A and B are shown apart, each in its own frame.
Chain A
Amino acid sequence: MSQVERLQWDVVVVGAGGAGLRAAIEAREQGARTAVICKSLFGKAHTVMAEGGIAAAMGNVNDHDDWRVHFRDTMRGGKFLNQWRMAELHAREAPDRVWELETWGALFDRTADGRISQRNFGGHEYPRLAHVGDRTGLELIRTLQQKIVELQQEDHRELGDYEARLKVFQECTVTRIVKDADGKVCGVFCYERESGRFFVIEAPSVVIATGGIGKSFKVTSNSWEYTGDGHALALLAGAPLLNMEFVQFHPTGMVWPPSVKGILVTESVRGDGGVLRNSEGKRFMFDYIPDVFKEKYAESEAEGDRWYDDPDHNRRPPELLPRDEVARAINSEVKAGRGSPHGGVFLDVSTRMPPDVVRRRLPSMYHQFKELADVDITAEAMEVGPTCHYVMGGIAVDSDSAAARGVPGLYAAGEVAGGMHGSNRLGGNSLSDLLVFGRRAGLHAARYAAGLDVRPVVDEGQVDAAAAEALRPFSAEAPEEGAPPENPYTLHQELQQTMNDLVGIIRREPEMAEALQKLAELRVRARRAGVEGHRQFNPGWHLSLDLRNMLLVSECIARAALERTESRGGHTREDWPGMDRRWRRANLLCRLADPTGGLAATDPVRGQIRLEREETEPIRPDLLALFDKEELVKYLSEEELHE
């Protein structure tokens, strides 16, 4: 039996971004002693990079807005693949979640009458995004962080200990979820980055809120933390992942210089009036309005331009189509030879608004281009191109409780949970998703923990196995006698290149098959990834452990993408270009091929992941009635319409 320190809490939240912190606040307010574990320092999570805003139908700027309109927009954006109940809860609850932030000290930008201002964004019918300039994510994370500190201050006053009921374990990483003999969650196995020390937090409820998977792709807007940890933890614990083929490529990432390639250029640039042009100076988006959106978007530049001031009598410009449409259009323009010098297209605000307005409304974009690319966006156009941004797929959860399927005590919220956004997420719906489902996950995790008479007991064998697995990189075997072990950084770069080239924005069957072959080779090599030095703050070691997760998640994406023979949202097949109504009700579930959680299978054909297909529940009739029949026939099959 290993000598690993044990700590006891009621709820453990893995991840301290928006979803994790909101879950922790809720669990603690429900009375659960709550621990938060995060890979970075408290307050540094990827949520800080969210720029545009939080979508919530408060109707502050246009009072026609309400939750039904938001629900409709979300379903359209996701091409009707969304778990409709999640989209409904999200649209209904988002305004309360935003208003609540104000009572915790958040300071959003204001309307002229002193309410929270709301801005336009792609796919949203009305101005809907509560925002703070273009640093909304920072405001969100800081507000939640400060709320946690407030709760800790309360505990300090009452109990003399800041961490009596809510503690953040910063710079710690979870490598395994531990279960009891009956398969119930009973804790997490972790290491502390600073010391390399292992510890186990015993808790009957675990909320996974680890965000996304972007670091498996070469060009990405995501930070180093986005290695698919939570996706992998859930898989290894026996929970299925849903619709992993849907990966969002944000249309506008920086493309130059190479070292910043992929860094996000906020959609607010377009929401506030920025336009996309090709090398011929043409606003090409007018050529890319798909049939399903024809009635909703402007036909001419003049109409699109009038819309900013008179949205009731004009239609929005096509630069504000959902992200998947814009990303594909940019990709096509560049392919057709009409791209910018560095392989993107031009995004221009300099001819659309005066310099001081640009600097006021888009301060961090101004700063980012000035500092990193020597480009003054008030005077010249930006060069932009698609960048891997978000995964719509994720842990399959119950819509109401955020409970992961099949693993009692496991919950998931935020980007790591699947279903809410269907095949494509609308901008602004991520921050609201974090708040709505973060709260729900925290609530139900706390209730579940409180409702147990007996706590599940940790299976010691699992703890020993987790410790051995985490230490393996220090004793990696060389690929051959005398050669050094595999370099984890090299393996990571090869993985990123593979996913970028073969399972990227436009997909083809032979390439995805090749990707699966390459992933299998990388899996074999990753088992021999070795590290130098010791366990204290050793990034090479950390990366070696993260590789397991990235390889698992990448296989899920490649396998599901190969299986889905249609194009929809964030999944575009060159060999299957159309959206197929028969696929609308099909969900693809990824499970670990070895149900015992083993990872020995390296066979490229079978791999580590098994796919299952299931049919979704029909959309509730009152929700379906929110759409016109003419619109529904574009998405739903005959039998669905008649049900």
Chain B
Amino acid sequence: MTSYEAGFRVWRGDTSGGGLEDFKVEVNDGEVVLDIIHRLQATQAPDLAVRWNCKAGKCGSCSAEVNGRPRLMCMTRMSTFTRDEVITVTPLRAFPVVRDLVTDVGFNYTKAREVPAFVPPAELGPGEYRMMQEDVDRSQEFRKCIECFLCQDTCHVVRDHEENKGAFAGPRFLMRVAELDMHPLDSAEAEGLDRKTTAQDEHGLGYCNITKCCTEVCPEGIRITDNALIPLKERAADRKYDPLVWLGNTIRRRSR
């Protein structure tokens, strides 16, 4: 096993401010950035704040920016850097800092609450659901999401525009709308909820101009833009310009 000493620059601070701090730290074969952060905690900076859980790319806790790129620290191998490269680790930029590498990701939980839940079909009881694999494939792809919020962090709609946060759910939760809209048994429409229209009107789908940054950073390889956002945009547009839908909506509104 070979070891070497790497240069790390880690952002340290809290709500009142902070800055990059330099460290020299041992690196061994096969290690990932999170291993190095843990070594810093154990040997040099015991109060260095960082979130992590599974260390296997399954929980989406250890999100940070490594050399400016949103990444899971547990899935970023040290072998992807040269030995003389100084590695800079900073907290997710789109969210307010709590301390060191830990940010306040409350925005995401607020947005999650704004998406109406799955509506079960009234006529089917537990155990009576029948769905074909090919019909659940699409929504299953979106349910691979580990909620690391890297897509939310990288999306330029909110990354540099704090003022958009109120109106924009972000890729993760627009994808959640798409997931429910494509669920073969979701009965939202029967309850008068049109997920396509709400994506546009309530969750800010229109802000997305499909630059695919979210897809690029997704550690699960979910094709957020191609498979969720673009189809959702198309469905929303169909809805808007479909004369029958327009007529139906007008009549329904009148009869209320």
Contact = CB atoms under 8 A, between A and B. Distances in A.
Given A44-B60, A107-B183, A259 B35 contact: yes
Contact of B140 (A102, A107, A263): A107
A107 B53 contact: no
16 contacts: A41-B61, A49-B56, A96-B126, A96-B127, A99-B126, A105-B118, A105-B186, A132-B143, A138-B58, A153-B117, A260-B30, A372-B56, A372-B75, A373-B30, A489-B46, A538-B47
Contact of A194 (B60, B98, B186): B98
Contacts of B132: 110, 114
B112 interface: yes
Size category of the binding interface on chain B:
35 or more
Contacts of B133: 109-110
* Prevailing SS type, chain B contact patch: loop
Contacts of B130: 113-115
B146 interface: yes
Interface string A143-183: 00011011011001000001000000000000000000000
Given A110-B131, A537-B98, A48 B77 contact: no
Contacts of A493: 42
B136 interface: yes
A631 to B, nearest CB: 32
Contacts of B43: 489
Contacts of B241: none
B147 interface: yes
B99 interface: yes
Interface string B85-116: 00000000000001110100100010011001
A137 B54 CA distance: 13
Interface string A94-123: 011001101111010110011100000000
Nearest to A490: B42
A429 to B, nearest CB: 20
A138 B146 contact: yes
Interface stretch (A278-286, A303-311, A528-536): A528-536
Contact of A489 (B35, B42, B52, B129): B42
A142 B145 CA distance: 9
A153 B61 contact: no
B28 interface: yes
B50 interface: yes
A249 interface: no
A95 B128 CA distance: 12
B41 interface: yes
B112 A149 contact: yes
Nearest to A225: B53
Contact of B53 (A46, A102, A260): A46
B54 A48 contact: yes
Contacts of A497: none
Contact of A107 (B50, B55, B77, B136): B136
B53 A533 contact: no
A550 interface: no
B170 to A, nearest CB: 16
Interface in B137-164: 139-140, 143-147
B30 A259 contact: yes
A224 B52 contact: yes
Contact of A102 (B58, B60, B112, B126): B126
B120 interface: yes
Interface in B53-68: 53-61
